[in-house]
Structure 1
Amino acid sequence: MPDTSNQALDRAIYAVPTEQFQGADGRAVRPCTPAVVTHRHLRMLDVRPGARVMDIGIGSGLSAALLAQLGGPDGRVTAVEIEPSLAKRAEALYAEHGHQVTVVVGDGLLGYRQSAPYDRILVGATPPAIPQAWLQQLKPGGTLLCGVRIAGLPGAYAIARVTVDDQHQPHQVEIHHGGYTPMVATYSADTVSRVVDQQQPEFSLTVLGDQDHRTAASLFAVLHEATHSEPTPAPDLDYFHLKNWLVAAEPSGLLEASIDRGTGVGIGFLAPDGTAHAAIVTDEHLIADHAESPALEVLRALSHQWLEEGALRTHELQARLTRDGDVWHARVSRA
């Protein structure tokens, strides 16, 4: 049986060329999600003819135009953008190229009740947590696709696909590898300790849990001075999926660090004698304070466990949303 939804998206991509939404110099507008990513996420969203859709975070304007093409003449697309200049630019392009999109300038975290309920909501950004307002504005059985944080670590971004039930509660939740630019908002469900190199602020360490700041600083120091490096446990190891599996496994002392040899996720702790030990895995190497580091032993064991369990990819992890007042936090765990 032919995949008609994929065929419809292929036709939409042909009808709405990316070039319509590039700048006058032919370059992508910032902020802007790459077209290939937008296309992939629209396949996941599965928009049908006649759908009522909200697009939050207008970017270049491409995603809303594609949504309008997928919804057809009986559909309705509302694009919400907090930056007036981006909204104005996209609105002019929609008028020029004949895309039926209603543009609203406003705070996307609130959604847009005036055009609700929606069959689909696409959010081209990562909120600090998923607002209940988005789920409430979906029709029962409707689907939300948005960026999420799956932990308090700096790089713990992913994509959530959430379908709601008759009570606007999460019914089906999937978490996929990927990410969108963070929204301008602050909130964290995790307790973390963070250390930043004052001379080179691009280097930092964040450790999950209620850690003493001096402990985090000690872990950062030994990673900065690390004397040991070795190849990752598998030649074609997919760092991003291993990282998300480690987040799901929730080992004690989970941390993420950016040092001169790369960015990685790993383990850090103080030995009974107060000595700091830390190790991280990057996309190419395991890096540790020294070759006999107990933190390195733990990280090696965890990496091999991930491989033994089938090198689970992010979408194969168990996904859930947990409610905290008026917001929901996305989390992954091992099945």
Structure 2
Amino acid sequence: MIHAHDAVDAAVEAVDEVHYRGRDGRAVVHTTPAGVIARHLRVLDVRPGMRVLEIGTGSGMSAALLAELVGPDGSVVSMDIRGSLIERADVLHREAGYANIASISGDGISGVPEYAPFDRVVAWTTPDRIPRTWVGQTAEGGRVLHPLAMASMTYSTAMVSFVVEEGRPAHLSLHRGAYVRMAEPDNERSEADDAAARDTEADAYLSAPWLSGRPERAAELLGTLVRSSLHDAVDGLDWPVTDHLRMWLIARSPEGLVSAGVGDRVGYGVVDGDHIAVMGVLPDARIIADAPDSPALKRLHDLVEEWNQAGSPETESLPVDTAPAEDGWRATICRVS
């Protein structure tokens, strides 16, 4: 028996990445490193003979990987709302000799009921909820994997995996990962919609649900963050460990929690009165704070120490629950204390 890890490695070896992504890897706008796709395919646990629905065709390479995993007795349906990507992928699949991939243009939220049921459903784009259609088109005991925002904040996305039992999500687990917001008809939302304040000149944003409806407060805090120059290093933290800390902070939900970005630096932090401190998730874990004696800086260090004392829990260990919502389910991380 070939284990999922070995099967995915074999699929990556078999698929010609240049054929789908071009020599510079930029044949289409949105691409994800092959290693990240492979990591998520291991979570999906695709096996020979399965029927798989993919939402978000992209370059077409992920559909080719799925086709390798299901083998000649399985099938892959790949959907994208952008017809140009579907047409391009269809040509590339035929050139590569894949006869078990159907490329379909349409709204991914709707799925393709005429091809259902599917043993696996995977999306490389982020819906606003767990869609009822995807659950309904998954066979009993089948698995679904897709990104989902875990809080009403920018850059709060994780991959949620679950098994369909009796027509609803069950046995949910979280995994590291983030993909672009899903484009739906008449809805071109982006993560910028979750920002409470933006400064286009400084290329900065501040995002937090508690700042909603408080534009002046949000703008003042963002201005303080942009003017801050303190960079306080945190020993022993780097990507991807910082991503696990990010998800734990969302679960911990301390008072004044914010998501922020300044230039190419994105991270999570806290506000204390008029003070703010933000720890980078990417590209490193340096902290931007308004002052060396900032109470927000002290609170942020205390939270990191609390995470360390808890054993530095990873994303996969955080409990997640669902609640019914319009046309599907909301998923939230159970609060930790």
State if a TM-score over 0.5 links the two structures.
yes
Query: 2 CA distance for matches of 1:25 and 1:269?
Result: 45
State the match for 1:47 in structure 2: 46
Q: 1:193·1:213 contact (CA, 8 Å) conserved in 2?
A: no
- Equivalent pair of 1:192/1:210 in contact (CA under 8 Å): no
Q: CA separation of 1:32/1:228 partners in 2, compared to 1, >3 Å: closer, same or farther?
A: closer
* Letter in structure 1 aligned against 2:232: E
Match 2:249 to one of 246, 249, 253: 246
User: What corresponds to 1:279 in structure 2?
Assistant: 277
TM-score (norm 2): 0.88
Q: Could you say if the C-alpha distance between residues 230 and 12 of structure 1 is closer, same or farther in structure 2, counting changes exceeding 3 Å?
A: closer
Amino acid in structure 2 at the alignment position of 1:253: G
Residues 292-324 of structure 1 show CA distances to partners (whole Å, capped at 9, x for unaligned) of 222222212111100110111111111223321
Give distance in 2, aligned partners of 1:230 and 1:308.
21
Q: Which amino acid aligns with 2:126?
A: T
Q: Indicate the residue corresponding to 2:270 in structure 1.
A: 267
Task: Determine whether 1:230 maps to 2:229.
Answer: no
* 1:99-148 per-position Cα deviation (integer Å, ceiling 9, x unaligned): 12111110001111110110001111111222111111101111111111
Kindly provide the amino acid, as one letter, of the partner of residue 225 in structure 2. Answer: L
In the TM superposition, 1:27-38 aligns within 5 A as 27-38=26-37
Deviation at 1:3, TM superposition (A): 4.9
2:220 counterpart (213, 218, 226)? 218
The one-letter code sitting in structure 2 at the alignment partner of 1:330 is: A
Partner Cα distance (1:255, 1:58) in 2: 33
Alignment pair present for 1:90 and 2:89: yes
- State how many pairs are aligned: 324
Structure 1 counterpart of 2:332 = 331
Asked whether the equivalents of residues 91 and 103 of structure 1 are also in contact (C-alpha less than 8 Å), the reply is yes
Distance 2:266 2:13 in 1: 38
Output the CA distance in 1 between the equivalents of 2:56 and 2:67. Answer: 15
Alpha-carbon distance in 2 for matches of 1:11, 1:259: 40
From the superposition, tell whether residues 213 and 46 of structure 1 become closer, same or farther in structure 2 (CA, over 3 Å). Answer: same
Aligned equivalents of 1:219 and 1:20: distance in 2? Answer: 47
C-alpha change, 1:84 and 1:289, in structure 2 (3 Å) is same
Matches within 5 A, 1:308-327: 308-327=309-328
Indicate if the aligned counterparts of 1:110 and 1:133 stay in contact, CA closer than 8 A: yes
Q: Does 1:159 align with 2:180?
A: no
Question: 2: distance between equivalents of 1:307 and 1:197?
Answer: 34
TM-score, normalized by length of structure 1?
A: 0.89
The answer (yes or no) to whether the contact 2:123–2:146 under 8 Å persists in 1 is yes
Residue in structure 2 matched with residue 12 of structure 1 by the alignment: 11
Contact 1:56 1:80 in 2 (8 A): yes
Displacement of 1:82: 1.0
Matches of 1:129 and 1:294 in 2, distance apart?
36
Compared with structure 1, are the counterparts of its residues 327 and 318 closer, same or farther at alpha carbon in structure 2 (3 Å cutoff)? same
Cα separation, 2, equivalents of 1:225 and 1:299: 19
Deviates more, 1:294-303 or 1:322-331: 322-331
Read off the aligned partner of 2:201 and give its amino acid letter.
Answer: Q
Question: Per-residue displacement from partner, 1:237-290 (whole Å, max 9, x unpaired)?
Answer: 5221111111111111111122369332111143xxxxx121111233222222
Q: CA contact under 8 A between 1:33 and 1:59: conserved in structure 2?
A: no
Q: Is the 8 A contact 2:253 2:335 kept in 1?
A: no
- Once the two structures are overlaid, the 10-residue window that deviates more, 220-229 or 132-141, is 220-229
Residues 69 and 3 of structure 1: is their aligned pair in 2 closer, same or farther, counting only changes over 3 Å? Answer: closer
Which amino acid letter does the alignment assign opposite residue 157 of structure 1? T
The CA RMSD measured in Å over matched residues stands at 2.3
Correspondence for 1:149: 149
**If you compute each CA radius of gyration, which structure gives the higher value, 1 or 2?**
1
Residue 73 of structure 1 and its aligned partner are, at CA, apart by 2.3
* 2:102 match: secondary structure: strand
- Aligned partner of residue 209 in structure 1, secondary structure: helix
Q: In 2, Cα distance between the equivalents of 1:17 and 1:177?
A: 26
> 1-side partners of 2:332 and 2:260: how far apart?
21
Give the direction of change, closer, same or farther, for the CA distance of 1:192–1:67 in structure 2 (3 Å limit).
closer
Q: Secondary structure at the match of 2:49?
A: coil
Paired letter, 2:41 = L
2:76 maps to 77
Q: 1:23 to 1:261 in 2, by over 3 A?
A: closer
Structure 1: distance between partners of 2:211 and 2:182: 25
CA drift at 1:193: 6.3
Q: For 2:266 and 2:97, locate their aligned partners in 1 and report how far apart those are by CA, in whole Å.
A: 44
Contiguous gaps of at least 5 residues in structure 2: none
Distance (Å, rounded) in 1 between the aligned partners of 2:137 and 2:127: 16
* SS of equivalent residue, structure 2 residue 47: coil
Letter of the 1:279 partner, please give it.
A
